[in-house]
Structure 1
């Protein structure tokens, strides 16, 4: 994991969890925005992605590989002795929720960005059944994801950079897919176990990756004392990479500031 310290006096710490196929370097703009606004940032690469050596690329043995890693990042954030916020995008949002359904952590708030609570394009029934069989026989067998950079964002400058990104993953293992399916199911069946934290859930209205109807269903089900849903009508999946990203960032920052004010941490 890596840590970036705030410019000037810090208000809080933001732990960022990236999505599937990608890595922490794609969040350089967002990390810098938080730093300049007075926030420390803690982030790493999830197992099997980016620069991590914790697992083979595109593969995990269990979805718990993710939740264990995220908990380590949160523990590292505690060292700053400041309020800690958890932010998860897509797969990172799903993994963050699974962690908060399993454990109670000292967090000031949670931000979810297009969390993966359902996919728009699922494998057909035959392929799905085949994946169940292969998961038992050859769990490391890899297949193409079908996801493209064009599906993720409308931002041409980001697309251009991603086309030459050697850390970007294009294939995942059968075990990875089955663990994802299982985690999505558990996110719903164990929704009542979700730790009661202030939540901001932001969703791209034009998302071509995650099923926004499933996201809204989960949001309506989760029994939190304070929760806020914001849909960005034009945005694709990666709302923090879209042409509107500065507005998205300001909305997220305002949520963080409001939570800090509500507990009297800042005035």
Structure 2
């Protein structure tokens, strides 16, 4: 895990949980902007991501490995006496929700960006898998998720960067897919077990990676009395590396300041 401390009086900590197929380096701009706004940033690479062996990329033994990593980061963040927030992008959003269903966290709010609750059925990989018995597939076997850089961002420069970055990957194991698939279903069924805390949901209405319509279950499923739900007329799945990123960061900053005002935190 890495931490980037703000150079001004701290208002809080933001723990960022990244998406599948990527690593922490994609968040450099977001980290810079939130630090300028007075937030320490804590972030690391999830298991099977970042600087891991090629054999381990796109693979986990069990989903709980992701939750354990998040709990580890939050434990370190708790040593700072300032409010704590979590950003979860894509898979990161699923991890945050699933972890919250299992334990109550001492956080002031969570921000979910295109949380992975269901894959888009139009993905080529999904069409193939829907017609296959997952139980009959090899645990170690791999397949291409069918997610391209232009589905992640409309920024041409960033697309080129993603395509050439060795930390990015396209293939996952069938076991990884089963773990994530089962966790998506389980998480949706238990949303009412999550503590009442401020939640912001940001999603792309024309997302080609996730089924954006499934995100709407959060409105009815969560017990949050402070829910901010924003849909953008975009197709980019990874809004924090999109051409539209400044607007999203502005919305995130606005949400956190609203929460800080609600809890009476002086900054």
TM-score normalised over the length of structure 1:
0.94
Equivalent position of 1:131 in the other structure = 134
Shifted more, 86-95 versus 140-149: the winner is: 140-149
Tell me, which stretches of 5 or more residues in structure 2 are unaligned?
none
Question: 1:187: how far off?
Answer: 1.3
Pairs within 5 Å for 1:90-169: 90-121=90-121, 123-124=126-127, 129-134=132-137, 138-169=138-169
Equivalent position of 1:69 in the other structure = 69
Across the two proteins, how many residue pairs are aligned to each other?
263
C-alpha contact (below 8 Å) 1:100/1:195 kept by paired residues: yes
Question: 1:118: how far off?
Answer: 0.9
Shifted more, 76-85 versus 91-100: the winner is: 76-85
C-alpha contact (below 8 Å) 1:12/1:84 kept by paired residues: yes
Shifted more, 209-218 versus 92-101: the winner is: 209-218
Classify the secondary structure of the residue corresponding to 2:46.
coil
C-alpha contact (below 8 Å) 1:23/1:168 kept by paired residues: yes
CA distance in 1, matches of 2:168, 2:131: 24
Tell me, which stretches of 5 or more residues in structure 1 are unaligned?
none
Equivalent position of 1:56 in the other structure = 56
Instruction: Indicate the RMSD between aligned Cα atoms, in angstroms.
Output: 1.6
Pairs within 5 Å for 1:4-23: 4-23=4-23
1:98-128, Cα deviation, whole Å (9 max, x unpaired): 0000000100000000000111136347665
Distance 1:80 1:52, change over 3 A: farther
Distance 1:224 1:174, change over 3 A: same
Question: 1:234: how far off?
Answer: 2.6
Question: 1:216: how far off?
Answer: 1.1
Classify the secondary structure of the residue corresponding to 1:129.
coil
CA distance in 1, matches of 2:129, 2:12: 48
Structure 1 segments (4+ residues) deviating >3 Å = 124-130
CA distance in 2, matches of 1:60, 1:152: 23
